[in-house]
Amino acid sequence: GAGVSQTPSNKVTEKGKYVELRCDPISGHTALYWYRQSLGQGPEFLIYFQGTGAADDSGLPNDRFFAVRPEGSVSTLKIQRTERGDSAVYLCASSPGAGGPATDTQYFGPGTRLTVL
Amino acid sequence: AQSVSQHNHHVILSEAASLELGCNYSYGGTVNLFWYVQYPGQHLQLLLKYFSGDPLVKGIKGFEAEFIKSKFSFNLRKPSVQWSDTAEYFCAVTTYSSASKIIFGSGTRLSIRP
């Protein structure tokens, strides 16, 4: 079946603008995760959804970042007033949700490369 | 705070050489450990994982890792690498105090000379 997909694959924006990044998880996966990966670093946890609700948003760096998953499937990561430091690859992952995030295998998408000029 | 250290940033080997990539974590309680791999142009994918039981874990493509609790380590090994193993390798951990977060190391880039 289809894997996790993310759109757009690349996004270039100007400082101060608003951006939305979309994630389509694997069908039937109840858990969805967002990560941010800066150059030369491993992925950094941002937020975890179980169904429609954000079970853990402690990784969001500040209130400019927000994510939703209104129907328990597709998720959108929203960044307001973008800053140059937000430039990174934003990764989405999904998992079946049965085992819990500590043990579930996460399946990653290709990422969205965000560049803030 | 929990952290994962991968001290080798870039490893270069010839084909058929043996591989060991280091991974150390900082957390005194129960952990789950993972190795992820990202081949050029591809997504991150799970290579192997350890939750409990036999500390020697076997994964895909001939990789294995050994959990040594006393050393807080989970090193990745392969007896004979191939050119197709060229990739970036990430060690990661989850703990029961931060169970929803996978904490990743900074990665090790592996280059194999044909």
Q: What is the 3-class SS of A16-51, one letter each residue?
A: CCCEEEEEECCCCCCEEEEEEECCCCCCEEEEEEEC
Distances (CA, A) of A102 to A2, A32, A37: 24, 13, 20
| Bond prior to B40 in cis (omega within 30° of 0) | no
Average pLDDT rounded to a whole number, residues A45-69:
94
Confirm if B65 and B6 have CB atoms less than 8 A apart.
Answer: no
Smallest Cβ–Cβ distance between A106 and the set B96, B102, B105 belongs to B102
Query: So what's the pLDDT on residue A60?
Result: 96
Query: So what's the pLDDT on residue B28?
Result: 78
**Residue A62 pLDDT > 90:** yes
Sort out which chain A residues have CB atoms less than 8 A from B102's CB and list them: 33, 43, 45, 101, 106
Return the SS3 of A86: helix
Query: So what's the pLDDT on residue A51?
Result: 92
Question: Cβ B44–A48 below 8 Å, yes or no?
Answer: no
What distance in Å separates the CA atoms of residue B67 and residue A71, rounded to the nearest whole number?
39
Query: So what's the pLDDT on residue B102?
Result: 86
Q: CB contact, 8 Å: B51 with chain A?
A: yes
Biggest alpha carbon–alpha carbon distance for chain B: 44
**Residue A114 pLDDT > 90:** yes
Smallest Cβ–Cβ distance between A56 and the set B43, B90, B101 belongs to B101
Burial class (CB in 10 A: 0-12, 13-18, 19+), A14: exposed
Residue linked to tokens 């929990």: B2
**Residue A117 pLDDT > 70:** yes
Residue linked to tokens 């050994």: B66
Q: For the CA atoms of B32, B4, A105, A46, what is the dihedral angle to 10 degrees?
A: 120
Smallest Cβ–Cβ distance between A55 and the set B90, B100, B103 belongs to B100
Each residue's pLDDT, cut to its tens digit, for chain B (114 residues) gives 779 999 899 999 999 999 999 999 998 788 899 999 999 989 999 999 998 899 999 999 999 999 999 999 999 999 999 999 999 999 999 887 766 678 999 999 999 998
Q: For the CA atoms of B35, B40, B43, B46, what is the dihedral angle to 10 degrees?
A: -20
Question: Cβ B46–A48 below 8 Å, yes or no?
Answer: no
Query: So what's the pLDDT on residue B86?
Result: 97
Percent of chain A with pLDDT over 90: 85
Biggest alpha carbon–alpha carbon distance for chain A: 41
Sort out which chain B residues have CB atoms less than 8 A from A105's CB and list them: 46, 49
Burial class (CB in 10 A: 0-12, 13-18, 19+), A85: exposed
Query: So what's the pLDDT on residue A1?
Result: 54
What distance in Å separates the CA atoms of residue B82 and residue B100, rounded to the nearest whole number?
34
Average pLDDT score, chain A:
93
Quick one: pLDDT band at residue A40, thresholds 50, 70, 90? confident
